[in-house]
Amino acid sequence: MKKIVRGGTLVNADSIGPADVLIDGERIAAVGHIDDVAEAEVIDARGCFVLPGLIDNHTHMSMPFQGTWTADDYDSGTRAAAAGGVTCIVDFAIQREPGGLQSSLDEWQGRARGAAHVDYGFHMAITSADEATLADMARLTEQGVTSFKLFMAYKGELMITDDLLLSALEHGRELGALVMVHAENGDVIDKLVRDALGRGETAAINHALTRPEQVEAEATSRAARLAHLAGASLFVVHVSCDAAAREIARWQAAGAAVSAETCIQYLFNSIDDLRRPGAEAARYVCSPPLRDRSQQERLWSALRRGVLESVSTDHCPFTDEQKARGAADFSRIPNGMATIQHRLVKLWDAGVGDGRISPCELVALTSTNVARRFGLERKGAIAPGKDADIAILDPREPFAFSTATSHMNVDYDVYAGETASASVRQTLCRGTTVFDRGQILTDPGHGRFVARAAVNHGTPATPGEEA
Ligand code: URP
Ligand code: ZN
Ligand code: ZN
């Protein structure tokens, strides 16, 4: 089956201009002026921007966490993804028990298979330090799971120790796999939380007050230093503040192979959201926490300078009922925000509309850089041979954020009441229209597992070299 996306403005990370796109089956066949092709379906993109499908490399579908499960499964979560122009996610599988990683990967594969509407890959989160676990990094890399996350926080649940982090970095270096870190000092947070609760400070705002910026900056610096020591690649997830971004810049300047992302909530939300009345504040509890509004412009600056190379969502949805677990104790509020659907239109307005980034930079930050960093070789650009993953953005059709327009499986929308100037009109994943003007057209199972290449090779180890 052939399709032509006709008459739009094609935006890649390195170019922008009028161009048609010819799709043959699941791949892009040609880009430029395309003559009519017999029996090809024509998708009219006049007046629209035609972008590579967004990739969200930081999502948590059907994840057991903090005594409950995230509210989106692979069906609902990837519906919402498609409604936001996302054609591929890289989700976090979590090691469930010591003694290896394979059974946890099988569990996550089982949940996603036959359910997803867009393509998906997995990172594996390592939570145990035994030999079998580290040996399984090679086994998973061979299966296309080429990145591993370690949590330096969530003491007593997911948190690892520095010796395991160093071992994982060493294995990652040998395998060409990427080690990712949630960089916050979990021991210090644990103390600050106990202190706050001891003083009777139980409201949601205390989540942010017990996880100050220094706690994130310290862990970021420690992880980068260990990566440099190991000569390994490191990716720091969900950077929330300038103090952490400055640590990353410092180690990048010293030659460490450190890269990093931020997430949309750190660009659009702030600690003030945690002061909202009643149960509403809990919707904004995520880790690292939302920061002072002044941090937002600094994060934009770090993105423009390349210190941060991508913007994901860290979609980790919980309903109001789930969030209410922490009504009397902020430390029991499940951490995470529901945002997977909104990245493109939010970044379009605040990024492109307000002149902070160009349309090409937006594509780089949400698709091209992500594909390159995470070994998604057939994704991240609209070019012959690539998967026909396309987001069509209509700048003339506003999008009203509300629970009625949200496909996410939570009973609120954190941007409800706001309107974006543009909306996602269609989303194509491997040539199939998944989303069209508000409707999901695919059955669960259109999305396929993507085995990713191992593309991360660290720098030669230079023990003793300082940033
Ligand atoms: O609050 C967050 N970020 N929840 C998801 C788990 C994580 O730390 O990425
Ligand atoms: Zn995290
Ligand atoms: Zn996360």
Question: Would the pTM of this model clear 0.95, i.e. be above it?
Answer: yes
312 CA to centre of ligand 1 in angstroms? 12
Please tell me the distance from the alpha carbon of residue 8 to that of residue 52, in angstroms, as a whole number: 13
Please tell me the distance from the alpha carbon of residue 328 to that of residue 339, in angstroms, as a whole number: 25
Ligand lying closest to the C-alpha of residue 57 = 3
129 CA to centre of ligand 1 in angstroms? 21
383 CA to centre of ligand 3 in angstroms? 31
pLDDT for the residue 289: 99
Q: Is the CB of 221 under 6 A from ligand 1?
A: no
Q: Is the CB of 66 under 6 A from ligand 1?
A: no
Is residue 460 pLDDT above 80, yes or no? no
61 CA to centre of ligand 3 in angstroms? 10
Please tell me the distance from the alpha carbon of residue 110 to that of residue 193, in angstroms, as a whole number: 36
Q: Which atom of ligand 1 is nearest to the CA of 60?
A: 5
395 CA to centre of ligand 2 in angstroms? 33
Mean local confidence (pLDDT), 401-423: 98
Q: Which atom of ligand 1 is nearest to the CA of 286?
A: 1
Summarize pLDDT for 14-67 with one digit per residue, the tens: 999 999 999 999 999 999 999 999 999 999 999 999 999 999 999 999 999 999
Please tell me the distance from the alpha carbon of residue 429 to that of residue 408, in angstroms, as a whole number: 19
Q: Look at strands 147-151 and 119-125 and give their pairing.
A: parallel
At 456, the pLDDT band (50, 70, 90 cuts) reads confident
Q: Which protein residue's CA is at the shortest distance from atom 4 of ligand 1?
A: 336
Summarize pLDDT for 141-177 with one digit per residue, the tens: 999 999 999 999 999 999 999 999 999 999 999 999 9
DSSP string, 171-221: HHHHHTPEEEEE---HHHHHHHHHHHHHTT--STHHHHHTS-HHHHHHHHH
Q: Is the CB of 316 under 6 A from ligand 1?
A: yes
pLDDT for the residue 465: 62
